[in-house]
Amino acid sequence: MIRVAENQRPQSVPGPQDVVRHELPNGIVVLVRENHVVPTVSVVGALQVGSINTQPSKEGLAGFTAAALMRGAGQRTFAQVFEALESVGASLAFGAGSHATTFSGQCLVEDLDLLLDLLRDALYTPAFPADQIRKLRGEIITGLQIQAHDTRHVSMNDFLKLAYPAEHLYSRNPAGSVDTVSAITRRDIVNFHHRYYGPRRMIIVVVGDVRAGEVLKKLEATLGRWSAAPGAPDSQLSLPPLQPLTAAHEKHAFVPGKSQSGLVLGAPGPCRSDPDYRAARLANTILGVFGLMGRLGSEVRDRQGLAYYAYSVLRVAPGPAPWFVTAGVSPDNVSRAVASIRDQVRRMQDDIVPAEELADNQSFLVGSLPLDLETNDGVSSLLLTMEMYNLGLDYLQRYPDMMREITAEQIQAAVRKYLDADRYALAVAGPEAAA
Amino acid sequence: MDQHQTSCTVLENGLTVLIREMHHAPVATFWIYYRVGSRNEASGITGISHWTEHMMFKGTPTFPSGELDRALARLGGQWNAYTSFDFTAYYQTMSASDIGLSLVIEADRMQNSLFDPAEVEAERTVIISERQGLENHPTFLLSEEVRAAAFRVHPYHHTVIGNMADLETITREDLYRHYRSYYCPGNAVVVVAGDLNGERMLAQVEERFGRLERGPTIRPVNSHEPEQRGERRVNVEGDGDTAYLLMSYRAPNVSDPDYFPLVVLGSALLGDSDGVAGGSTTNKSSRLYKALVETELAAGVDGGLSPSIDPALYSISATVRAPERGRNRSPIERLDLVESAIDAEIARLLESHPVTETELACAIKRAKASFAFGSDSVTDQGSWLGLSQVVAGSHTWFGGYLDNLQGVTLDDVARVAARYLDRRRRTVGRYIPGR
């Protein structure tokens, strides 16, 4: 079992004093934080490539490419990659979103060299074997077929199409559809990797039982040798301007054989870099997170018994990410649940949040930080977010004050700017199309 | 003192108290396990343990409905509750300096929950909605039928959520009687883990819980599932595109000497063992992945064993892959192929290719990694210690897990493979889409 001496325990809030940030000559930004209490390492990171770089007719290409990276790389076949990883209980996985391709791995410290080798091979020299591409395509299509009958997925995808204009990146499902994924060829994947994968502005975060200097040396010798892909552009954000919704846009999709309806109601929210993002985040906590799902939980679930789940989400993205309420309700209760959700949005628009409720929510966001920082995985994913959004290495140290400074007026202004009880996108998916 | 030792004390009123000092982060977790789950339910009141769990958040005179959530959230705490076949568990994780609140909350709601009739009715629709949400998933419908067929006599026949007819008719009096019967010190296990002083914590637990009445004598569950005399088969037909196969073999309980050899067998077959300590590696090097997914019959395969008080099931669950375009094999034909491939792989294991030294070593290394990954989370540690005490009868089951696994020989594995992978003692379920 593991002994922990007090002097081994890192300061509880990571910051410039114990996070090493170093940029390799090829542009990769490395963040390392030592934590010697358990013999494990968490490795996460991001590349600036995502569905923003794909044609809508090939939607799903970014995710397909990310998933294919491990299907044979460097000197190893698909089978050898996973024999190596799984035989030591380690993991490494890639996934793609709208703007970024991210990876996440975990291993015992004794297996870190192996994990970093596999990471380098997967990024730098993936083989994309034709038979593996065919197998993976079948697995992805099976997953998409399952999602097409899942009320939560159907309502979410429909919501995005209602909330954003058709040409907007965020109206699309980055996973694609059966049609678009069926059309993706091995050549598409090879070209996509060649064109967009590169070290420029890549981020890698290593947290755990390591020495920062040794990690930097290892990374310089492995990923540091990766030269920029020719023509890899900075995937600058080039999203079309967005007009606020001017009416209620609703869609009810029929998904046969289901017992429960899924619904999503909301609108485009702030960009992560917008000055009112923080107020919006606090507003979202009040609306549908705090305690057991905030005001929505108290009203829609607890008082009215309309739903097993009813909560709100403010997504984080470089662009105007969706801000929405989602609920799972009995088909007979859809109209009542929608009315109740709209009431709660209206209340946020019309009434200033009472001082005590504001203080409780601020206290929640500040007080939960030590829990997010308990594990290596928790720390690494926070450091990655901080680097991706240029929040600064002292972000977590400034965070409590930033949260406490937010006023009830700022919260109301953020809600009024982004959400409206009468102008929204609403998608319902379930056993019967409610009137 | 080894800071990762666990102390076990039984108070005079029968409450078992486990305390584990962990000083890696300034956080602590409090768990309370009650020895009651769907295993203790008869027909007519199925789902009552889970519903009781929901009612524990609905108020006492000291913490009226919603107050408990607010008090915990204000501190930035995380909390939740789970009901399983064998137990009901509640936890809170927060800054170590605040963990005293958990003792106040749990000592209070062990005896003073109100079960207000209006709250019971509001929760009825929430619980029904939860069940409807589960019914939306074909895999739930299939596992419910397989379970019902596999257990004719034992209460593992029922799902934890319960039958809809019972959820519609269970009364407030039924719930309150259930609560008063099972929620008492003599039937509970408390676990506190984290950045705390063990002796002082024990004194605090004694102070809060020591004066509570032991509670009524609980009627033991004496149900034994009779010998199964032949394969059982069930079909579920429904909407969607995707077929699923679930094959469940009768398996030993957690205290059986065959349990650990079966964990090793499961590791070779499915990559996963029993999920203990929470590893996150994939299973692409496992025998059944190679036999089903590499051959493009399935899009994924998983399953395994769960630690349980009474003998339960070892399950293999396959998602049948979507057909290649232009190939029109019916779902039933594809299910036949998947089932034949599993049978062939099991025959190969039994007849010519027993589990190897390498596979045994892998199972052990993976379990070691899992334990290391879980060791920087107080919440995970609290959870496993409580489960170990309640399901295996002692917290030392969790502590001795790796030693027990290392004691397994290849002969043990061959013996349990022959004993449990017997088609006469299995239930095969198919979800056939395309109604």
Question: In terms of domains, do A392 and A262 share one?
Answer: yes
Return the DSSP state at A126.
B
Is 80 exceeded by the pLDDT of residue A312?
yes
Of A166, A171, A418, the C-alpha closest to A280 is: A418
Question: In terms of domains, do B124 and B261 share one?
Answer: no
Question: In terms of domains, do A123 and A77 share one?
Answer: yes
Structure tokens at B62: 């000291």
Q: Which domain holds residue A114?
A: 11-225
Task: Give CA B385 to chain center in angstroms.
Answer: 13
- Strand stretches in B202-292, DSSP E: 232-238, 244-250
Return the DSSP state at B254.
T
A121 exposed, middle or buried (CB, 10 Å; 0-12, 13-18, 19+)?
Answer: buried
Task: Report yes or no on B408 lying in a domain.
Answer: yes
Is 70 exceeded by the pLDDT of residue A10?
no
Task: Report yes or no on B1 lying in a domain.
Answer: no
Task: Report yes or no on A24 lying in a domain.
Answer: yes
pLDDT of residue B435: 58
Confidence of residue A329 (pLDDT cuts 50, 70, 90): very high
Question: In terms of domains, do B392 and B275 share one?
Answer: yes
Nearest to A145 among B241, B271, B367 (CB): B241
Of B306, B303, B318, B295, the C-alpha closest to B272 is: B303
Question: In terms of domains, do A190 and A329 share one?
Answer: no
Question: In terms of domains, do B12 and B117 share one?
Answer: yes
Select the residue from B125, B263, B293, B370 to test the A interface by mutation, using most A Cβ atoms within 10 A: B125
CA dihedral sign of residues A287, A289, A295, A296? positive
Whether A308 sits inside 8 A of B133 (CB atoms) is yes
Q: What is the DSSP string of B269-336?
A: HHS--S-TT------TTSHHHHHHTTTTSEEEEEEEE---SS--EEEEEEEEPPPPTT----HHHHHH
Structure tokens at A407: 């006023």
CA distances from B243 to A210, A306, A410, B133 (A): 46, 32, 51, 19
Question: In terms of domains, do A217 and A262 share one?
Answer: no
Task: Give CA A168 to chain center in angstroms.
Answer: 18
Question: B409 to chain A nearest CA, in Å?
Answer: 18
First to last CA, chain A: 61
3-state secondary structure A407-424: CHHHHHHHHHHHCCCCCC
Whether B375 sits inside 8 A of A151 (CB atoms) is no
Question: In terms of domains, do B203 and B254 share one?
Answer: no
Structure tokens at B10: 């039984």
pTM of model > 0.90: yes
Residues of chain B with C-beta less than 8 angstroms from the C-beta of A86:
271, 281-286, 362, 366
3-state secondary structure of A208: strand
Task: Report yes or no on A5 lying in a domain.
Answer: no
Domain with B107 in it: what CATH number? 3.30.830.10
Question: In terms of domains, do B363 and B395 share one?
Answer: yes
pLDDT of residue A23: 96
* Domain end residue (candidates: A225, A258, A275): A225
pLDDT of residue B11: 98
Compute the average pLDDT of residues A202-212: 97
Residues of chain A with C-beta less than 8 angstroms from the C-beta of B320:
142
Nearest to B126 among A85, A305, A373 (CB): A305
Question: In terms of domains, do A264 and A211 share one?
Answer: no
- In tens, the pLDDT along A68-85 reads 999 999 999 999 999 999
> Would you tell me how many other CB atoms lie within 10 Å of the CB of residue B211?
12
Phi, psi for B126 (deg, rounded to 5):
-65, -45
Residues of chain A with C-beta less than 8 angstroms from the C-beta of B135:
258-260
Whether B130 sits inside 8 A of A308 (CB atoms) is yes
The contacts of residue A97 (CB under 8 Å, 6+ apart) are A50, A51, A174
Question: B2 to chain A nearest CA, in Å?
Answer: 7
Strand order in the sheet with B188-194: B6-10, B16-21, B188-194, B27-34, B88-95, B78-83
Residues of chain B with C-beta less than 8 angstroms from the C-beta of A79:
284-285, 290, 294
The residue with tokens 């509001």 is B122
Nearest to B375 among A38, A78, A89 (CB): A38
pLDDT of residue B323: 84
Question: In terms of domains, do A158 and A261 share one?
Answer: no
Is 80 exceeded by the pLDDT of residue A283?
yes
Question: In terms of domains, do A217 and A332 share one?
Answer: no
Q: Which domain holds residue B26?
A: 6-209
Residues of chain B with C-beta less than 8 angstroms from the C-beta of A328:
129, 132-133
Task: Report yes or no on A3 lying in a domain.
Answer: no
Task: Report yes or no on A1 lying in a domain.
Answer: no
pLDDT of residue A237: 57
Nearest to B369 among A108, A257, A259 (CB): A108
- What does the alpha-carbon distance between residue A157 and residue A165 come to, in Å, rounded to a whole number? 13
Question: B157 to chain A nearest CA, in Å?
Answer: 22
pLDDT of residue A3: 42
- In tens, the pLDDT along A164-200 reads 999 999 999 999 999 999 999 999 999 999 999 999 8
Q: Are strands B27-34 and B88-95 parallel, antiparallel or unpaired?
A: antiparallel
Question: In terms of domains, do A38 and A180 share one?
Answer: yes
Phi, psi for A134 (deg, rounded to 5):
-65, -45
- What does the alpha-carbon distance between residue B280 and residue B293 come to, in Å, rounded to a whole number? 19
B253 exposed, middle or buried (CB, 10 Å; 0-12, 13-18, 19+)?
Answer: middle
* Domain end residue (candidates: A225, A259, A288): A225
Q: Provide Rg for chain A, Cα atoms.
A: 23
Question: In terms of domains, do B160 and B246 share one?
Answer: no
3-state secondary structure of B2: coil
Question: In terms of domains, do A162 and A262 share one?
Answer: no
Task: Report yes or no on B170 lying in a domain.
Answer: yes
Compute the average pLDDT of residues A45-52: 95
Question: In terms of domains, do B424 and B312 share one?
Answer: yes
Confidence of residue A37 (pLDDT cuts 50, 70, 90): confident
Instruction: Give how many domains chain A has, as a whole number.
Output: 2
Question: B151 to chain A nearest CA, in Å?
Answer: 26
Considering chain A, what is the average pLDDT of its residues?
93
Nearest to A374 among B124, B319, B378 (CB): B378
Question: In terms of domains, do B261 and B182 share one?
Answer: no
Residues of chain B with C-beta less than 8 angstroms from the C-beta of A256:
239
In single-letter form, the type of residue at position B166 comes to D
> Would you tell me how many other CB atoms lie within 10 Å of the CB of residue A385?
16
CB pairs under 8 A between A and B: 219
Compute the average pLDDT of residues A90-119: 96
- In tens, the pLDDT along B63-84 reads 999 899 999 999 999 999 999 9
Q: What is the number of residues in chain B?
A: 435
For chain B, list residues with pLDDT below 50: 1-3
- What does the alpha-carbon distance between residue A249 and residue A424 come to, in Å, rounded to a whole number? 6
Nearest to A256 among B25, B239, B376 (CB): B239
- What does the alpha-carbon distance between residue A429 and residue A264 come to, in Å, rounded to a whole number? 9
Question: In terms of domains, do B255 and B190 share one?
Answer: no
pLDDT of residue A239: 83
CA distances from A121 to A26, A373, A430, B129 (A): 17, 30, 44, 47
Question: A233 to chain B nearest CA, in Å?
Answer: 33
3-state secondary structure of B66: coil
The residue with tokens 């009226």 is B64
Q: Hey, which residues does A430 pair with through a beta bridge?
A: A254
Compute the average pLDDT of residues A38-43: 95
Whether B241 sits inside 8 A of A149 (CB atoms) is yes
- What does the alpha-carbon distance between residue B272 and residue B139 come to, in Å, rounded to a whole number? 19
Question: In terms of domains, do A344 and A407 share one?
Answer: yes
- Strand stretches in A5-150, DSSP E: 19-23, 29-34, 40-47, 72-73, 76-77, 91-96, 101-108
Domain with A168 in it: what CATH number? 3.30.830.10
Whether the CB-CB separation of B123 and B51 falls below 8 Å is answered with yes
pLDDT of residue A200: 87
Task: Report yes or no on B219 lying in a domain.
Answer: no
Question: In terms of domains, do A186 and A273 share one?
Answer: no
Task: Report yes or no on A4 lying in a domain.
Answer: no
CA distances from A42 to A381, B92, B237 (A): 9, 25, 43
Compute the average pLDDT of residues A213-222: 95
Whether the CB-CB separation of B167 and B51 falls below 8 Å is answered with yes
Instruction: Give how many domains chain B has, as a whole number.
Output: 2
Task: Report yes or no on A244 lying in a domain.
Answer: no
Question: In terms of domains, do B126 and B242 share one?
Answer: no
What letters, b where the CB count within 10 A reaches 16 and e where it falls short, cover B163-186? bbebbeebebebbbebbebbbbbb
Question: In terms of domains, do A63 and A189 share one?
Answer: yes
